[in-house]
Chains A and B, each alone.
Chain A
Amino acid sequence: MTSRFARTGRLTGLALRRDRFRILIWILVLVGLMIGVAFKFTDIFGTQHEIAAIKDTLKSPAMVALLGAFKFTNNPSTAQIFSTEMVVFMTITQIIMNIMLGVHATRGEEDEGITELIRSRAVGQLAPLSAAALELVIVNALVAILYGIGLGFSDMHGITTEGNWAVAIGLAAVSLAFGLLALLTAQLADHSASATGLTYALFGLAYIVRMMTDVQNPDYTWWSPLGWVEKISPYHHPNWLPIVLALLLALILFILAAIINLQRDLNAGAIATRPGRRIASAFLRGPVSLLWRREHNVIIGWIIGLAILAMTYGSIYNSVGDMLKTNPTMQQVFGSNVLHEANHAMLVSFTSTLVILMAALAAIPGIQLVYKLYSDETNGWLESLYARPLSRTQLFFGYVGTGLLSSIVAFGVAISTLILVGNATLSHPKDGLTTFELWQSIWGQLPAVLVFIGIATAIIGWWPRIRALNWLYLGLGFITLYMGGMLKLPKWAQHLSPLGWMNKVPSHDVEWANFSWMLVLSLVLILIGWWGYHRRDLHMS
């Protein structure tokens, strides 16, 4: 049996070496965010007054949906507020790291034929899988240690050593479980894109279950592994059970992955590939239809995925826009008109935050499709195309146009679904958002989506090596806005990314001047990218 694991240690070392830059950047981002915020937190929520104000906000259904449901003592400490605001959000970021590293280390290596080369050596059958698992354990442990030590230096009121380590290890354990889920899907799917898609679909499900149960009845949140991080409650009554559960889940997922790995053939997935068409359909006739033929699952997946997320957020409008829940005497004091106005304002503010989330998410498929132009090039797939009468300009605008369209449709569908479903759940339709506000929501953030795609395009045309920076920019830009209010970030920080260049919508009106120049900017960026792309050498493998 041990021979199945032969050379696992050596392969783990190799994996860590291979991914050293990715790992370094992820650790810098994760630890920087967590510890950076921890150090600022006394300034933000140091006084009883500040804490009392934020405590009520955090208890509102909108915030519970976004950040999770937490139990507070009557006078919560700064540390308790800190963990409430940060835990779910930081876990999601750490899970994304785990999924990326996990799929890349298993199915990604297999797609590139590297696993075949390695397995021809005196290496155990399970060694590549185990090395990937060990890599994830080591990286998560590293993050946990840095969290634990870093939090220890914070002077937040109410901080405890046990709490620090409970947070650090808890986040790592839950994230690791999702990383091992990625290793399992990598055994089921037969290439890395579908493994990634499958993992994110399951992760999305865990997120939605967490959100729904948090709003309805937090006791049921135990059903979502993502919800376990909420149950640690580190600075109140530290609970180690969720951590044990997460590690147990990780172990079970690893055993399942190993069993499937032993059953299946190399380069094949457990889900068999069916034979396909003998001749091409009439539709498949050029670069754009080829891109659609290859990527339509991903594009449709994003649109439907965002619509489902929007639908679940919409389904809690009734709880969010019900001031009577938090303030039962309001109607008697102010009358029903004021009440409905307040409900409406509550919903508008909730929607404004979600519009930023949807814009950041909707930009992803567009950026991915633009980046495909480069990865297809380095994969050698464009060589056959360019040997045909096909100009650089045609192919370039084929990819960029598909990317733009996918993002625009995904964003439009998400916002419309959110507001229409949300309005439908309300018991007083008058509280809901108007059609005008719906359009304002779309116009107010669409330019930001386009600018991000424009940046991606310029990068592909001139300097494809730095394309990861755009993801970082999108991620940080989103965080500064999404968390900006709660972390009381300065105004300039919130203006750093295109997401913050316009006022929040629909709580403010669309600034049409900004709208126009952002549109022009994205167009200019795309043209700059085109200029570089049509004159540069293609990179061939």
Chain B
Amino acid sequence: MTATPVLQINHLQKSFGHFQALKDITFNVNAGEVFGFIGPNGAGKSTTIRVLLGLIRATGGDATIFGQDVWHDSVAIHRRLAYVPGDVYLWPNLTGGEIIDLLLKMNGAHHSQRTDDLIKQFGLDPTKKARTYSKGNRQKVALIAAFSQDADFYIFDEPTSGLDPLNERQFQLAVLALKQQGKAVLLSSHILSEVERMCDRIAIIREGRIIETGSLAEMRHLTRTVINVTLKTPLDVTQLAGVHNAEPGQHTNEWQFSVEAKALPAVMLALTEHHIMALQSTPPTLEDLFMHYYTTEKE
């Protein structure tokens, strides 16, 4: 990769008094990629994003966007950045339409045809006062303002937690369109199916530390594939190296087990010797990966 990453974070740390919210955060986001940032509540996702926005100041390490320091050059960075917070708080006595326009104008942009299209697509009533909006509608206001802005880097902090499935789909299409235009997107989420579907690379954060970064395919190598196999001749698969949680199935010689990625070739060889009659392999889902990191490495 020759181009400099849009976002570079190096050993970022943040303490609130004695509490260390971020211990070691390191990852990059490149142009033209959707980067998933996942972790449970309280792991430090929003804190990281607030450091990136210059709302709070890092106590260690550094972070740059477009090669500029996130604290000192926040104003310059924000000219080319769009952000949708996880909890959208809007000024209660302004209408949604007014807020969208205000946010656009503050970036030097204007209410365009695209804004009207987005309002229609997301099904927002822009004449209502923000006080009367539900969580989903408040999120729509922030999303419409972000998508109708022409930025180079988009940050979404759990943007779909209040949206219905139809609007979630609108959101995914819009993010895909950004990716095709070569924009960089940082998507923080704990809706794993969404991340799995949209993201090119993923970072997993736990207790203020990035514990894994990479593409989903790369990560799959780190964990186990679930295999459901029916053999012609008997074999005690529990004896094979790298096999876990083996359980006999309903039929004779049917087994269900999970196997480590590195042991897969040897296991497959052993199975073939006993004449495979049926085989189903399920690659680990992001959810499996997630559970894997959070349950097995918790010690």
Task: Judge whether B55 is part of the interface by a CB distance below 8 angstroms.
Answer: yes
List residues 41-72 of chain B with CB under 8 A from any CB of chain A.
Answer: 50, 53-57
Contact at A381–B91, with CB atoms within 8 Å?
Answer: yes
Partner of A293 from B75, B76, B94, B132 at Cβ < 8 Å: B94
If A294-B94, A381-B89, A390-B75 touch, whether A280 touches B129 (CB-CB below 8 Å) is no
Q: In the bound complex, how far is the Cα of B296 from the Cα of A515, in angstroms?
A: 70
A285 with B75, Cβ < 8 A, contacts A276-B129, A537-B56 known: no
B16 contacts which chain A residues (CB < 8 A)? 537
Question: Within the complex, which residue of A191, A284, A380 is in contact with B89, where a contact is CB–CB below 8 Å?
Answer: A380
- The contact of A294 among B93, B95, B100, B103, by CB within 8 Å, is B93
B133 to A: closest C-beta gap in Å: 12
B102 near A390 with CB under 8 A, answer no
Q: How far is the CB of A461 from chain B (nearest CB, A)?
A: 15
Chain A residues with CB below 8 A from B93, complex form? 191, 294
Contact of B56 with A279 in the complex, beta carbons under 8 Å: no
* A386 B98 Cβ-Cβ under 8 A: no
Q: Which residue of A lies closest to B78 (CB)?
A: A389
Cβ-defined contact, A380 with B85, below 8 A: yes
Closest B residue to A281 by CB, please name it: B98
Find out whether the CB atom of A386 lies under 8 angstroms from the CB atom of B128: no
- A510-541 residues with Cβ-Cβ distance < 8 A to B are 535, 537-538, 540-541
Task: Report the bound CA distance from A280 to B50 in whole Å.
Answer: 28
* Interchain CA distance A2-B126 in the complex, whole Å: 42
Supposing A284-B101, A389-B79 touch, asked if A384 and B85 sit within 8 A by C-beta, the answer is: yes
B87 close to A541 (CB less than 8 A): yes
Give Cα A386–Cα B16 distance, bound, in whole angstroms.
21
Contact present for A384 and B95 (CB under 8 Å): no
Chain B residues with CB below 8 A from A158, complex form: none
Residue of B nearest to A381 (CB): B89
- A191's closest neighbor in chain B, by CB? B92
Residue ID in chain A nearest B55 by CB atoms? A538
Question: Is the Cβ of B126 less than 8 Å from the Cβ of A279?
Answer: yes
Whose C-beta in chain A lies nearest to the C-beta of B105?
A285
Q: Would you list which residues of chain A between 270 and 299 have a CB under 8 Å from chain B? A: 273, 275-281, 284-287, 290, 293-294
Is B6's CB within 8 Å of the partner chain A?
no
* Bound-state Cα–Cα, A379 to B94, Å: 15
The answer, yes or no, to whether A230 is at the interface (CB within 8 Å) is no
Q: Contacts A383-B89, A391-B75 known; A537 to B57 CB distance under 8 Å?
A: yes
Give CA–CA (A390, B55) in the complex, Å. 11
B219 interfacial by beta-carbon distance below 8 Å? no
Given known A-B contacts A280-B98, A384-B142, A391-B74, A290 and B91 have beta carbons under 8 A apart? yes
Determine if B195 is an interface residue (Cβ-Cβ < 8 Å).
no
Residues A389 and B75 in contact in the complex (CB < 8 Å), given A284-B98, A380-B85: yes
Task: Indicate if B127 sits at the interface (CB-CB under 8 A).
Answer: yes
A383:B55 contact, CB within 8 angstroms = yes
Q: A278-B126, A540-B50 are in contact. Are A286 and B97 (CB under 8 A)?
A: no
Q: Kindly provide the distance from the CB of A377 to the nearest chain B CB, expressed in whole angstroms.
A: 9
Contact A387 to B98, CB < 8 A, known contacts A276-B127, A285-B105, A286-B105: no
User: Roughly how many angstroms separate A287 CA and B106 CA in the complex, as a whole number?
Assistant: 8
A47 to chain B, nearest CB (A): 58
Judge whether A214 is part of the interface by a CB distance below 8 angstroms.
Answer: no
Partner of A379, one of B85, B89, B100, B142: B89
B81 within 8 Å of A (CB atoms): yes
Residues of A within 8 A of B78 (CB): 386-390
Interface string of A406-437 (1 = CB under 8 A from B): 00000000000000000000000000000000
Do the beta carbons of B101 and A537 come within 8 Å of each other? Answer: no
Chain A contacts to B: CB under 8 angstroms: 111, 190-191, 273, 275-281, 284-287, 290, 293-294, 379-381, 383-391, 535, 537-538, 540-541
- A-B pairs, top 5 by smallest CB distance, nearest first, are A380-B89, A280-B101, A387-B83, A276-B95, A537-B56
Q: List residues of B whose CB falls within 8 A of some A CB.
A: 16, 50, 53-57, 74-76, 78-79, 81-83, 85, 87-95, 97-103, 105-108, 111, 126-129, 131-132, 142
Given contacts A381-B89, A388-B107, A389-B107, 13 further A-B pairs with CB under 8 A are A111-B92, A275-B127, A276-B94, A276-B95, A276-B127, A279-B97, A280-B98, A284-B98, A290-B94, A379-B89, A383-B55, A385-B106, A537-B57
